[in-house]
Amino acid sequence: MSNENLTLTRRRFGGLIGAAAGSAALGPLAAPALAQGFPGRPVTLIVPFAPGGSTDLVARLVAAKMSETLGQQVIVDNRGGAGGNLGAGTVAKAEPDGYTILMGTVATHALNPALYKKISYNAETDFAPISLLVNVPNVLTVNPNFGAKTVQELIDMAKKDPGKYSYASSGNGSPLHLSGELFKKLAGIDLIHIPYKGSGPALVDVIAGQVPIQFDNMPSSTEHIKAGRLRALGVTTAQRVPTFPDLPAIAETLPGYDTYSWNALFAPKGTPPEAIAKLNEVAVKAVNDPTVKAKLSDFSAVTVGSTPEELATLVKTELAKWAPIVKDSGAQID
């Protein structure tokens, strides 16, 4: 190496040392400058459930559109287990740099804290909210040969014969089980809960008439309702859904009844505000993209695209809402 090149190399090295020392001296003040270049590499979106469900579908639709806007890939990583707790706990403990985020749900951030005796994260304090993406309605259905044709008729039948009728759900402690428990509580009726290992087996038995009533995700039941294999009595959201405008909301009979599944993005607590702002911006843009919105509406998902503050409020509200319902149901998981 020539003397000239050696001198240049020493100058560059010295400049790097000076820059590093300056960054160290600034400490936290340097963090926003670093975050302004976010993202500089792919972002991992952890879905805390197996592939193929509605949460996974929402994640993949949104991740693909976010990738286009960010100029970096948003990679979906399914980490199923413990009702969503495994994936959520992984993100809670991840480096708070915006490069590992979670597709949270009503299960991970509202139900599981009340259901599980031991849980590795705090739904409120271990995450930085990014955006509520979509609400997915549930639906109350019955076998077409069942006597009730409306929510009120079902309530009247159940009051006349307490404990005579049963309802199916996708499992103990699931959002659908607890949708049924809230229905019972507000209606003042006694229905017997029959838990299944997933919506699929429950649908089979309700269609066959083995169990007369079911609470299910709208996406799972939509085709069966359209084909006449199930009779829908009401959607569980406070308002009717666009895909079934003639189907009443249960709240029209039971004021205050409002349950639904939701999907929202969270980052680990301590993630730089600039990274949260950027992720929020591209996530909101993604769910409002006409193509994405149309695909989401195919299974009755209602797009939201909230602010981080609105999502934080939702988590507080949902935790307060579901804790007593879980307790009353007696459902608990070790």
Looking at the domain assignment, is residue 4 inside a domain? no
Which pLDDT score is estimated for 50?
Answer: 84
What CATH number should be reported for the domain holding residue 272?
3.40.190.150
What pTM was computed for the model?
0.79
Which pLDDT score is estimated for 19?
Answer: 38
Report the number of distinct structural domains present in the chain. 2
Number of residues that make up the chain: 334
> What would the pLDDT profile of 123-143 be if each residue is shown by its tens digit?
999 999 999 999 999 999 999
State which residues of the chain have pLDDT below 50: 1-34
Looking at the domain assignment, is residue 22 inside a domain? no
Please report the beta strands in 192-308, taking only residues with DSSP state E, as ranges in sequence order: 192-195, 213-217, 231-235, 260-268, 302-303
Residue with tokens 């994260």: 121
Residue 268 sits in the same domain as residue 129: yes
For residue 193, the SS3 value is strand
Which pLDDT score is estimated for 83?
Answer: 86
Which pLDDT score is estimated for 36?
Answer: 58
Please report the beta strands in the chain, taking only residues with DSSP state E, as ranges in sequence order: 43-47, 74-78, 100-105, 127-142, 166-169, 192-195, 213-217, 231-235, 260-268, 302-303
* DSSP category for residue 240: -
Residue of 206, 201, 180, 199 lying closest to 191 (CA atoms): 180
Please report, as a single letter, which amino acid is at residue 119.
I
Please state, in angstroms and rounded to a whole number, the distance separating the CA atoms of residues 147 and 137.
24
* Domain residue limits at 225: 137-252
Residue 237 sits in the same domain as residue 307: no
Which pLDDT score is estimated for 197?
Answer: 83
Looking at the domain assignment, is residue 106 inside a domain? yes
Which pLDDT score is estimated for 9?
Answer: 39
Looking at the domain assignment, is residue 334 inside a domain? no
CA atoms within 13 A on the CB side of 45: 27
Cα-Cα end-to-end distance for the chain: 67
